[in-house]
Amino acid sequence: MTGPAPRTEWQRHRVVHRVGHSPDPWRWTPWQYVKATGRWDDPTGTYRVLYVADSVYACLVEVLAPFRPDPSLEDLYADLLGDPADGEFLTVPAGTVDRRWISERAVGTAKMTGRFVAIGHSQTLAWLRRRVPRLLLTHRITDLDGAAVRDAEPRAFTQALSALFYAWTDSDGTGVDGIGFRSRWGDDLHLWSIYERTQTGIDNLSPLLSDSIQENLHPDQPDLARAMTVHHLVLRPPPG
């Protein structure tokens, strides 16, 4: 098949960040808890994926997105919450982040070196159009453009692309370490998904990462406040 090859880019000692479960945000998710819910997760159960970003702010924008209030459901939530005067809410209000969620998270910083597919690059999209026509038909995607690889749905489509690039090698037999992509929440947010190539245990740091450090996430962290503002979120007041 002729045409341009996928665009790949090297990241050498790139400083990246991750927000994950405390005390070690760099830990691979234990297999028993792995669910193919992320955009570039493995649909085959062969490998795990670690998501990192170029800023702590980008990480928080991503992980806080599920807390966003849905305007179409606000009236329904109001009915479910009950009366605050009764002393207890029936559920956490939409658009509210619980302090416990924050206390259970840590922020990691590390240096990353690896080769990544630039999924939104014109060269990669051109290669994919010729490579996955049946996949496009299956998921009713009329044209493979930049929007198709950034849409939230169908996740099965982007996950299939992840599996494709996990197995792909170029003409000299060299593969890639993951996928570089832009966040759905803004072009200024750069992210990477790192493939787990060597399964040596859940506690091992990815060999692509070095000089890793981590610290607890705090409610007064400026990046947290900024990300919550973007998603119109508020911090749930402490009980009492």
pLDDT, tens digit, 9 for 90 and up, residues 143-153: 889 999 998 77
Amino acid at 135: L
pLDDT band at 188, cuts 50/70/90? very high
Residue 80's pLDDT is what? 47
CA distance 226 to 61: 9
Question: Hey, how many other C-beta atoms are within 10 angstroms of the C-beta on 76?
Answer: 11
pLDDT tens track for 76-98: 444 444 444 444 444 556 789 99
What is the DSSP-derived secondary structure letter of residue 210?
E
- Amino acid occupying residue 232: H
| 181 contacts 150 by C-beta, under 8 angstroms | yes
- Report pLDDT digits (tens) over 118-144: 999 999 999 999 999 999 999 988 888
**Predicted TM-score of the model (pTM):** 0.87
Confidence of residue 182 (pLDDT cuts 50, 70, 90): very high
Q: Which domains does the chain have, with CATH numbers?
A: 8-235 (3.90.175)
